[in-house]
Chain A
Amino acid sequence: MIELENVSRDYGDGKVVHALNNVSLRVARGERLAVMGPSGSGKSTLLNLICGLDEPTAGVIKIDGVNIALLDDDTRTRLRREKIGMVFQTFNLLPTLTTVENVSLPLRLQGISRKESEIRANAMLEKVGLEGRATHRPDQLSGGERQRTAIARALIFVPPVLLADEPTGNLDSATGEDILILLDDLHFEFDTTILLVTHNVEAARHCDRILRFRDGMVVQEERLNLAQVMG
């Protein structure tokens, strides 16, 4: 599903910072991968490269066999829209839009009518347990509800890949756990491949595999068995 071959990402002109250094990895369809590591280890860079928001300095990134580095910006954007859902630590909802409008936004950007978009968004909101909050604006929602909205938005296209960057980082532990369970449920329902960037070991235990990063390189890989995953 996701393949990285010798991917490097350098920043700066003078003193070069190697954010990712010759990383290779494969993520199978339906797999849940946790990426852990200290700040500046290259976790977020990895997500940005996979979703095509950033371009590698060297190496190949393939999504479903397509090398995204060879695509132009619009094609990459469309691929992201349809195949990759993104969830952020800070939710990144549009404050002026209601919950249902936020969730239906990717569909509207695709040119799907408001009516159909909202039907699909309401169905997704029901799946994330926000059926009563469709007309609320982000500032009227709790942190957990905002993240659920962000997840619903990320999954509105039922993308095969979900990239989650510290999705529980801004939430209390109970709410964070609810969100992780929700991700588990959605994973089982849609067979979504999940890449979860986290500092939280408990969160990582919801995944099948853990990659530990340091200084832009994979330093440890740990495969969790079902018992570990289920706690």
Chain B
Amino acid sequence: MRTLFPILAHITWLQWRLHKLRTALTLLGIALGVAVFFAVRTANLTLLSSLTMTVEKLAGKATLQVIGGEGGLPEAVWETLKDTPGVKVAQPIIEVIANTAFEDEGNLMIVGVDMLGDRELREYQFDEGDSEVADPLVSLAQPDSILISRTFADKHNLKDGDKLPLFTSQGKKEFIVRGIFKTTGIGEVFGGQIAVMDVFNAQFIFNRGRNIDRIDLMNEPEVAVEDLKRRLHERLLSGIEVERPAARGKGIENAISAMRIGMTLASFIALLVGVFIIFNTFSISVNQRWKEIGILRALGVERSSVERMFLGEAVVMGVIGSAAGIGLGFFLAAGAERMMSDVAAKVFGYMTTQRQPIFRWDYAVASFTIGVFASLLGALMPSRAASRLNPILALHNIETRQRENVLGRTRMVSGFAMVVAGMALIRFAPLKVGLYFQFSYSLLVLLGLILLLPKLSEWTARLLRPLMDRAFGSEGVIAVDTMIQAPRRTSATVGALMIGLMFVFSTGAYVSSYQRAVSRWMDRKINPDLFIATSDMARSRTYHFSEELSRKISALPGVKRIENVRFIFLPYEGDSVALVTIEMDGWFARVSDVIEGADEAEAREKMIRGEGVLIARNFANRYTLGVGDRLRLQTPTEAFDRPIVGVIEDYTSEKGAVFLDRELYKKYWNDAAVDMIEVNLNHGADVITVKNEIQRIMKGEHRAFIYTNAEYKKWVMNLIDGFFVLNYMQVAVAIVIAALGIVNTLLISVSERKRELGVLRAIGGLRSQIRKMILLEAAAIAIVGVLIGMLAGMLNTYFMVRTAAAMIGGFTIPYRFPFWLIGIVLPMTMLIALAAAWLPARRAVNLQVVEAIGYE
């Protein structure tokens, strides 16, 4: 073998040189697959690091942070902490993402600190040149004082003494800049869009009542942090958490887990498509080198050496492609991270600090290894086929070769059995085994489809034949026949398309099913005439309205009633779940038949009296709770324990939601903030007139987003689309990789059919007819790919609506397959395929006929 190696390596090298374009396309296929995989991981890491960095920079030297959920902590907790032995410093914090009243209405993170003690925790480096105040931090004692970062000051051309208008929960207020701190430490957070003010002032203007958002602690040097943490846990109520700042990042990671899981799963698609490209290339390479392999075998090269020659080639391709993929992936990661940050902000309300992608060697090595392994996997079957080639048969003229027989009965039965078994497992297996285990059921279906692929391609192509004949004549027939004739050559490309399109269809179907379910839910349960929101994102975690504003709105002509909605996340059994509070009597007045599993009237009575809670159906599924069970929630004041009086259909959060009456919430959480005001109008009142009136009274005072019912619904649908935009983009990359497969397949098709194309030219086929034939072959591959991709998508949608939705969100979503998607996917795939066919068609047209007819 050792002596053979240089010769076989040389033969492989010559093949690469001879088929430069094919080699380049294959390498690009691997590189793109690895790039997406690496980019998503790097972007994930960068996003988390960015979220954690925001927490840590804000924490300064704090060793522990005390938080009470999004509702905040009562001030009394601060007093308790200050008196706790081992606590050196305890500083209250308010943290708000507010909006300036400048023209661009930019976001500004406002940190409320206690001017007297905060310097012990956070380092403030002020630009002394600008400051006219001896100690800017002390100047915060004046209620109109604000300190801003150099970045923000430069952006808005602000200097000491200038006015900074801000929208607060109390309306628009003007602050005086009394210090500009440098772009280091806290000044780096949120891209420098940060300002500092007095904590009690912030508490008032941002409507925190007697609550604070957080307390930052520093331990006495002689007391270990963990000991202090334990001591604090003993002294505080269970709803109050004490964590190291770094550990809070973990909680954020958990909150955005749905997005991360979706991204990670989608990143495998591109890689999987890459495997198909490798499989395709090597299958074709074996076919093209049929005779060469025969000669090598006849000259005494063992089967194992032939197999190793191909596998070695795959490893080299994997190494080059993966290395390039990591470079490309790192470049793509910056864009992916920006988009993920956008989703994290819009959907989950988490603000991040922009930063460059973080290069992690362990990720790079893992992606590289996976890339090389994927190459080997793709080359495995073709390499084995090459080694098993009968030398006598291989030495025959290529024309005498029998039609490829790629699907034996065993493979077909196995494929069918795998599809059926996978679907049965999705349908009947319990959900408790975990998402990744459940995912294997979907993988089983996919593997079954891959085994059936050659036959499915052939059947679909046969169905297509008469249609192509009718529409395009002999060129159409020959184009389809080429597919039928060489299933090995075409199946891998169809497979690559199938995988990419399967995710297009199933993601599209999932989004469509989900949107339909949400739309029906909103029609029945979220049906006020107008919505007034604090943010144009799903919610603002930090900026809220006051009840005073609600009262003003309820007094407007045409307004029948308003409901104040408060929406927070709170810890529950190691995760965080949504808590939605509303004036239940108001909500019940406009909805009917919403409560499941209990007597509606009785449940309503109990809810209004504050004697129970409602839970979302997905919450009930996730935690196996039902009517009659008791729900214990952690609050910053005292233990909350109420019976569950009903279950409702709800899509507020994939983590599950609990509903309770607003008065009950205010009592236990000590929080009167309002996230959304739902406005119900008198019969006959004009929605637009009232909307305009609300806009008029809020204009210049409050930053608010006012939607009519239809606008709100549309906004929610856009938000759902936005959540999946990254998945769509990854799928798009997968389709680009599949398109490379089409180029590859057609180039090989032209090269393998040189004689056939030459004959066609010889018997009178025009150049334009040859071009048409190649383009039609590409179109046929696209049509077959779309149809099989649709079938795979239909099966995968079942997994997504039944298992994935239940596992990730506990939702049960009715299956709905949007057939209209074919109307978009088919022409787009055809366009991509036709573009991919341009080069092969050119080659076919420029074929030297005399040479081609003499070709062997």
Contact = CB atoms under 8 A, between A and B. Distances in A.
Do they bind each other?
A: yes
Interface of A: 48, 51, 53-54, 73-74, 77-78, 80-82, 86, 88, 90, 92, 94-97, 101, 105-106, 108-111, 114, 139, 153-154
A81 B766 CA distance: 10
A108 B473 contact: yes
A111 B765 CA distance: 11
A153 B763 contact: yes
B485 A106 contact: no
Nearest 6 CB-CB pairings of A with B = A81-B764, A108-B474, A96-B481, A92-B759, A96-B485, A53-B849
Given A92-B762, A95-B485, A97-B477, 17 more contacts: A53-B849, A80-B763, A92-B759, A92-B853, A94-B759, A94-B760, A95-B399, A95-B756, A97-B478, A105-B760, A108-B477, A109-B474, A109-B763, A110-B764, A114-B469, A114-B473, A154-B763
B850 A53 contact: yes
Given A94-B478, A111-B473, A77 B766 contact: yes
B765 A109 contact: yes
Contact of A97 (B481, B766, B769): B481
Q: Which of B403, B482, B484, B763 has the most CB of A within 10 A?
A: B763
Contacts of B485: 95-96
A53 B478 contact: no
Most interface-central of A82, A101, A109 (chain B CB within 10 A): A109
A105 B762 contact: no
Nearest to A45: B850
Contacts of B473: 108, 111, 114
B489 interface: no
Nearest to B473: A108
Contact of A74 (B399, B403, B767): B767
Given A80-B762, A95-B399, A96-B485, A88 B853 contact: yes
Interface residues of B, number: 29
A177 B481 CA distance: 34
A51 B762 CA distance: 8
Contact of A86 (B399, B402, B478, B762): B762
Interface in B498-521: none
A86 B762 CA distance: 8
B761 interface: yes
B762 A53 contact: yes
Contacts of A53: 761-762, 849-850, 853
Contacts of A86: 762-763
B402 A96 contact: no
6 contacts: A48-B850, A53-B762, A54-B850, A92-B853, A101-B474, A101-B477
Contact of B484 (A96, A106, A153): A96
Nearest to B469: A114
A77 B764 contact: yes
Contacts of A80: 762-764
A94 B756 contact: yes
Given A92-B755, A95-B485, A139-B402, A109 B853 contact: no
Contacts of B850: 48, 53-54
A105 B481 contact: no
Contacts of B469: 114
A73 B762 contact: no
A101 B764 CA distance: 15
Nearest to A110: B764
Nearest to B482: A96
Contacts of A90: 399
A110 B769 CA distance: 10
A195 to B, nearest CB: 15
B767 A105 contact: no
Contacts of B755: 92
A74 B766 contact: yes
Contact of A77 (B402, B481, B765, B853): B765
A109 B764 contact: yes
B580 to A, nearest CB: 64
Interface string B449-478: 000000000000000000001000111011
Contacts of B759: 88, 92, 94
B834 to A, nearest CB: 22
Interface in B319-361: none
B474 A105 contact: yes
Contacts of B765: 77, 109
Contacts of B477: 97, 101, 108
Interface in B706-752: none
A154 B766 CA distance: 16
Contacts of B764: 77-78, 80-82, 106, 109-110
Contacts of A153: 763
Contacts of B402: 139
Contacts of A82: 764
Contacts of A74: 766-768
Contacts of A81: 763-764
A51 B760 CA distance: 14
Residue among B484, B755, B764, B849 having the largest count of chain A Cβ atoms under 10 Å: B764
A13 to B, nearest CB: 15
Contacts of B767: 73-74, 77
* Most chain A beta carbons < 10 A, residue from B474, B766, B769: B474
B520 to A, nearest CB: 51
Given A94-B756, A95-B485, A96-B485, A106 B478 contact: no
A86 B764 CA distance: 10
A154 B475 CA distance: 19
A139 B405 CA distance: 14
A51 B481 CA distance: 28
